[in-house]
A = this chain, B = another copy of it.
Amino acid sequence: MKTLILGGDGYLGWPTCMYFANLGHEVYTVDNFCKRQIELEVGVTPLNKVFTLQERIDFWNKNSNNKIELFTGDILNHKFLYEILEKIKPENIIHYAEQPSAPYSMADRQKAYFTQSNNVLGNLNLLFAMKKYCKDAHLIKLGTMGEYGTPNIDIEEGWLDIEHKGRKEKILYPKKPNSFYHLSKVHDTNNIEFCCRNWGLKSTDLNQGVVYGFHTKETMLDEKLQTSFHYDEVFGTVINRFITQAVLGKNLTVYGKGGQQRGYLNIMDTLNCVRMASENPPDAGEFNIFNQFTETFTVSDIAFKIQKALDKINLKIKIDNLKNPRNELEEHYYNPSNDKFIKLGLKPHLFNDELIISFYKFVKNYENVINKNIIDPKISWSK
């Protein structure tokens, strides 16, 4: 099967390329390296050395029977994208090629504007390219659980049956995103739903939780195949930040009351979920939505779990509460469903003591290169 992975240089894109190559897919990937450009712009780097995508692909192709082919360019340039789809006619398109940081999108006008134009218009070009060159391909689009916000009702998987004044309707699950980044994903969802309904495209939207973890079967094969580990405020997520703070012997910084609950999953489960989605395409015209997470935690839960796990190796970690830079509910109802992937057979990796300790040991190797200045939040949701 021909699989095109957009955003192959990214934290998830690169492991997905190798994983699908190992599954026997013909893998093609695209990147314009805009995330690396943003890293330079905001002055952050991953903890580890991330080899160039060309180096990683070269190394992979020399050591694997299932090659990966790279196209370098920007999907906002529709001619570039059209050429690729015309040439390859992919059956499977996995779309990660979006600006992925909520704090970045909230930093100022230029960054919000870039986020929405890059994400929404790139995705729009992709929809037109698919209609023109591979109408029957399956678009697997990465969305986020953050599209939903924190509603007072159970979060179903993408669609909701409602009754109003005695009449019934099936609606896209109502969204209440909390950043210009999350809004861009909602706009994408709405555009894709229309193209399925209007043109008969088929798509699966993966509303993904916060991904943690560094190692996959393929990244572990060689240091040159690693993906990125970010612990900074822009690209790092809460688990990475806490682990990094623990390595530095600093207190874990919980934003606000810490009652913010979210869905989480291990990077290995991301790969499993994307595979399962690709094995279960919807019919033409159908827009399928999965919630892609394995466990839900509050921010405080995570801090306590890390504290407890590291206590086993005799590390005494303290927890601080920081003024929350984000406008978000710090105590709220949260009950999202992930039934669809569980029914398809997903066996979650859990965020347990063993994982936390091994994660700690991994980051400990890099203790000397941690940049302490990029951990605390400087971007405010209100300013």
Contacts and interface: CB of A to CB of B under 8 A. Distances in A.
Nearest to A166: B153
A194 B199 contact: no
Nearest to A108: B128
Interface in A184-200: 186-187, 190-191, 194, 197-199
A352 interface: no
A109 B128 contact: yes
A162 B165 contact: no
Contacts of A160: 164
Contact of A198 (B169, B172, B382): B382
Nearest to A167: B153
B198 A194 contact: no
Contacts of A153: 162-165, 167-169
Contact of A190 (B125, B171, B186): B186
A129 B120 CA distance: 21
Nearest to A174: B171
Contacts of A381: 198
Contacts of A78: 109, 113
Nearest to A197: B327
**A120, A163, A327, A382 — most chain B CB neighbours (10 Å):** A120
A199 B112 CA distance: 14
A117 B113 contact: no
Stoichiometry, copies per complex: 2
Contacts of A180: 124, 191, 194
Contacts of A240: none
B120 A116 contact: yes
Given A113-B125, A116-B121, A183 B191 contact: yes
Contacts of A151: 169, 171
A178 interface: yes
A180 B187 CA distance: 11
Contacts of A197: 327
A128 B106 CA distance: 11
A164 B167 contact: no
Interface string A281-297: 00000000000000000
B327 A198 contact: yes
A25 interface: no
B162 A164 contact: yes
A116 B124 contact: yes
Nearest to A194: B183
Interface in A140-181: 151-154, 156, 160, 162-165, 167-169, 171-172, 174-180
A333 interface: yes
Contacts of A162: 153, 162, 164, 174
A169 B174 contact: yes
A174 B172 contact: yes
A179 B124 CA distance: 13
A323 B378 CA distance: 57
A190 B194 contact: no
B169 A152 contact: yes
Given A174-B172, A327-B198, A124 B152 contact: no
21 contacts: A78-B113, A109-B124, A109-B125, A112-B128, A113-B125, A116-B124, A116-B191, A151-B169, A152-B169, A153-B169, A154-B164, A160-B164, A162-B162, A169-B174, A171-B174, A172-B174, A175-B190, A177-B194, A183-B194, A186-B190, A198-B327
